[in-house]
Amino acid sequence: MPLDHRRVPGPEESQAPLLYAAPGEEEAAPGREAAALRPLLARAGLLSQAEGSAYVELSGGTKVLCAVRGPREAAEGRGRLLCEFRRAPFSSRGARPRPGPAAAARERELGLALQEALAPAVRLARYPRARLEVTALLLQDGGSALAAAISAAALALADAGVEMFDLVVGCGLCRAPGPAGAWLLQPSEAEERAAPARLTVALMPGLNQVAGLLGSGQGGPPESWARAVRLGLEGCQRLYPVLRRSLLRAAERRAAEGPRSTGSSA
């Protein structure tokens, strides 16, 4: 076999690093109340280049920045909502994930989930021959990333003055390990990794309609999942005032700044 001079030849025999990692090193997460929400910070209208933008941070590390561009002219007939979900290369724990088709496919799945959660809220019929582009950038993944992205994207759409039926609030859940594990609201990254099942719900709180639902894992019988959905929807209702307030504050800030007259509605 020809020698590849560009590579440093490694030792002939190599071992997986897992061999040296003692099992069970990670400390157990401190017990917490299942229905406890993590403090959430939301701020709308912070980017000047995009038509609308929002930033959502969950205490414990999840940071999502979302921008909306449009409505832009598009060739095709109906209005379209395009959503993109991206992870910053430095967003997750450990080594930088290798970019490749697998990572791209995962991002696309989350982008699609984002789109399906937002589509019921946006009045696309009012934007014929136009497209709205929503980009969510996950700066740091500290758990419940998709939920945070959904909330941020809805805020950004509202901030852009896009006509909507309602805001969309996302909430993440995961099931604690163990046969009778309880569902936890807004899990941290460590909890998410250890969880046998995960779920993200998105709610339009004003209309009380579920806009999005994505979950998988060993969540047990439908009754258990139903409990999770109920818990998640309750969580969404509790998050809603925070998001509303951030929108109002953005509108006030903008009014104080002066000439730009587009108001946002909550």
Of the pair 54, 124, the CB lying nearest another protein is at: 124
When asked if residue 116 is in the footprint of another protein (CB under 8 A), the reply is yes
Is residue 217 helix, strand or coil? strand
Of the pair 202, 251, the CB lying nearest another protein is at: 202
Answer for the pair 228, 173: CB distance below 8 angstroms, yes or no: yes
| Of 34, 36, 207, 255, the one binding another protein by CB under 8 A | 207
Eight-class DSSP state of 12:
S
When asked if residue 10 is in the footprint of another protein (CB under 8 A), the reply is no
Region from 28-36, 90-98, 184-192, 226-234 binding another protein, contact rule CB under 8 A: 226-234
| Of 59, 218, 262, 265, the one binding another protein by CB under 8 A | 218
Q: Are strands 63-73 and 130-140 parallel, antiparallel or unpaired?
A: antiparallel
Two tokens, residue 257 = 């700044």
Site for another protein in 176-205 (CB under 8 A): 196-197, 199, 204
| Of 109, 177, 206, 263, the one binding another protein by CB under 8 A | 109
Distance between CA atoms of 142 and 154, rounded to whole angstroms? 20
Give the nearest distance from C-beta 215 to another protein in angstroms: 5
Distance between CA atoms of 252 and 22, rounded to whole angstroms? 54
Site for another protein in 228-247 (CB under 8 A): 229-230, 233
Distances (CA, A) of 44 to 66, 152, 243, 259: 9, 8, 9, 18
Q: Are strands 80-87 and 63-73 parallel, antiparallel or unpaired?
A: unpaired
Of the pair 74, 139, the CB lying nearest another protein is at: 74
Of 59, 85, 34, 40, nearest to 240 by C-alpha is: 40
Give the nearest distance from C-beta 123 to another protein in angstroms: 12
| Of 39, 128, 206, 217, the one binding another protein by CB under 8 A | 217
Peptide bond into 71 cis (omega under 30): yes
Count of residues for the chain?
266
Site for another protein in 49-108 (CB under 8 A): 105-106, 108
Sites of contact with another protein (CB under 8 A): 16, 18, 105-106, 108-109, 112-113, 116-117, 119-121, 196-197, 199, 204, 207-222, 225-226, 229-230, 233
